[in-house]
Amino acid sequence: MSDKSDRGDSPAARLQKLFEGHRLTPTQRRIAHCMVRGAAEVPFLSSVELAELAGVSQPSVTRFAVALGFDGYPALRRHLREVAPAGRPGGPGSDSYNSYQQAVQAEIDNLRHLSAMLADPGPVEEAGRVLAGSVPLPVLGLRAASSQARGFAYFAGKVHPDVRLLDEGGSMLADRIDAAAASGASALLCFALPRHPREVVAALEYARTAGLTVVTVADSAFAPVARHSDLLIPAPVGTGLAFDTACAPMLLGRVLLESMADALPDAQARLEAFDAKAAARSLFVE
């Protein structure tokens, strides 16, 4: 009896009620289905992250929120947070977690730390303006940080006119930094995660001599790249498994992406154009 009641008042059930009575397009139904499956996490996702999770475009998420009667996705997200369950992981029984669960809980703590840091949005907003003003925008990430750099560059390319991914080291790295500077770049974004390659430190030092403002996402404000960065925003990594986990740096990258998009006057137009072209090419399966 209580189990049935709990299910009826679960986050997923609350989301289902939110969607009832609305005529949704196939794409919007896909978003709704994705949100129900990840009901506990959805209130903490940005529109870009929800779009990625559902396999749709970011403008589709915005239109979905409007279809539900909200002014936009931020308003929908605020509503979802109000109806989210109060209970959070790490409560009673956390001492009985196995090693895998402990690693997950530690990563959740990292995300909470990141959330607390973002209470002051100033550094992220400043970074967004700096990145938006650099055309082209080189994005550097080697070894463990290459996936963070590649993910940022992929999405940034949808709103920024010229993003250049630097995810391979070697003697040509300095050449590519020179080429970006010669083409008009004024800043470089770096993702730096442990273990920190010497090449990254050298590349940042070289970038600054080339006149670029260096914005860095690193695991700590005391990382080896700190003294070669003009603006460093830390996001801790998890160390509970054999290989580090980097959920917080990845999320911080998406936050920077959002801030940069806010500073680009034609970001929404570019997203709409991409969405239209993707539909015309049947690029994604609806």
pLDDT < 70 stretches in the chain: 1-12, 84-95
Supply the DSSP string of the chain, one letter for each residue: -HHHHHHHTSHHHHHHHHHTT----HHHHHHHHHHHHTTTTGGG--HHHHHHHHTS-HHHHHHHHHHTT-SSHHHHHHHHHHHS-S--TTSTTGGG--HHHHHHHHHHHHHHHHHHHTTS-HHHHHHHHHHHT-SSEEEE--GGGHHHHHHHHHHHTTTSS-EEEE---STHHHHHHHHHHHTT--EEEEEE-SS--HHHHHHHHHHHHTTPEEEEEES-TTSTTGGG-SEEEE---B-SSSS-B-HHHHHHHHHHHHHHHHH-TTHHHHHHHHHHHHHHTT-S--
Q: What is the pLDDT of residue 49?
A: 86
pLDDT of residue 9: 55
pLDDT for residue 90? 43
pTM: 0.68
Residue 7 pLDDT: 42
